[in-house]
Structure 1
Amino acid sequence: MGSPVVSPLINLVVRVFTIILLVASLIVLATDNITYGLGFYDYGYQFKFTDIYAYRYMLSVMVIGLVWILLQSAFTIFHFSSGNPLGGNAFAHIEFYGDKVISYLLGTGAAAGFGLTVDAKRFSELDSFENDFFNKANAAASLLLIAFFLSAISSVFSSYNLPKAVTAA
């Protein structure tokens, strides 16, 4: 009995939803900042998400994942339009292992964001601006977590494209 076959269209739809979630998460995180001390003579200080290493890691993971999934989407469109996968057996392995690595990166990025946000909110008394800052970062991590799940589904779909081993009788 053969392995199930997933249509390139279904794979493309999952990748498109992953792209949408990654872009949304990227926008939410990139717009996350607080400005302190905006008095009449005070210039203030702007606290940005890039001031925190875990959120920088989230951003890096989002960009890397977005580049990979856009590239894979282009290859999936080629597969869908031509009916033949690009690159044959070697590319099927690259796609499979690349999808695994990217999905794990997305998962660790979401975990880093959630971990820092929970610890920051638990161990400090936050004013409303700081609370909004961490809630926004938590929303970005939530979108990234959903993107991880969809990327893991794409990884399963890419496993169906792997060449089958020939066994001697």
Structure 2
Amino acid sequence: MKMPVGVEYDDKGSGDGVGVGSKFPVTALTARLLTLLSLIISVVVLKTNDKSFDNGYVLTYKDFRSYKYMFYVTVFGIGYTLLQIPFALYFMLKKKHLITSYGFLKFNFYADKAMTVLLATGAGAAFGATMDIKKYAGDRIPKLQDFLTVIYVPTTFLLVGCIACAISSVHSSLHLPR
């Protein structure tokens, strides 16, 4: 059965093939908000994590390419999510899409997939770099170890944001007419 574009769910969640249930838009918006919150926390912790050495040098995420990549991917993810939240909110409130064209639904489908992959690569790069640096630096530089231990926090929040974005990606795939 082909679902008409613009009619996406019914309030009763009747399961008659026309809609996808009353909780669908709420979970779609919740996933977007969770993504945004996780990514914001990730950026804040990453930006505030620094260690000062005795010679006056301050170690920050900018000293490592993997962490800079993680930062830029996260900021890009925040921007993308901020653009998507009004559409999810409108969908939840009005029970239909703001823009009902098939092309726009398809764009959301592919953009969500790409954003999920991008966030996953940022989290993977940061986790990998942290593990490698911790392994080779050992306990010789305690301040570096402290810096790297804190790096696990924003990386974990980035991973949570990636998972929430993957949930949004699943929702966007269900929006496409069959």
TM class by shorter-chain length? 0.7 to 0.9
What is the deviation of 1:3?
8.6
1:34-49 correspondence runs (5 A): 34-37=51-54, 44-49=56-61
Residue 113 of structure 2 is matched in structure 1 by 100
Scaled by the length of structure 1, the TM-score of the pair is 0.88
Q: After superposition, where does 1:1-169 map in structure 2 within 5 Å? A: 2=17, 5=20, 7-37=24-54, 44-88=56-100, 89-126=102-139, 127-164=141-178
CA RMSD of superposed structures (Å): 1.6
Number of positions where the alignment pairs a residue of Structure 1 with one of Structure 2: 159
Look up the equivalent residue of 2:71 and give its one-letter code.
L
- Give the TM-score of the pair, scaled to structure 2: 0.84
Deviation at 1:142? 1.1
Distance 1:69 1:146 in 2: 14
Instruction: Work out the CA distance in 1 between the residues paired with 2:163 and 2:18.
Output: 22
- The Cα offsets for residues 47-81 of structure 1, whole Å up to 9 and x where unpaired, read as 11111100000001101111111111111112222
Give secondary structure in 1 for the equivalent of 2:97.
Answer: coil
1:4 Cα offset (Å): 7.0
Q: Which runs of 5+ in 2 are unaligned?
A: 2-16
Over residues 87-107 of structure 1, what are the superposed CA-to-partner deviations in whole Å (9 max), with x where a residue is unaligned? 221111111111000010110
In structure 1, C-alpha distance between the alignment counterparts of 2:19 and 2:122, rounded to whole Å: 31
- Separation in structure 1 between the aligned mates of residue 113 and residue 97 of structure 2, nearest angstrom: 19
4+ runs deviating over 6 angstroms = none
Quick one: structure 1 residues 4 and 145, their matched pair in 2 at CA, closer, same or farther if it must change by over 3 Å? Answer: farther
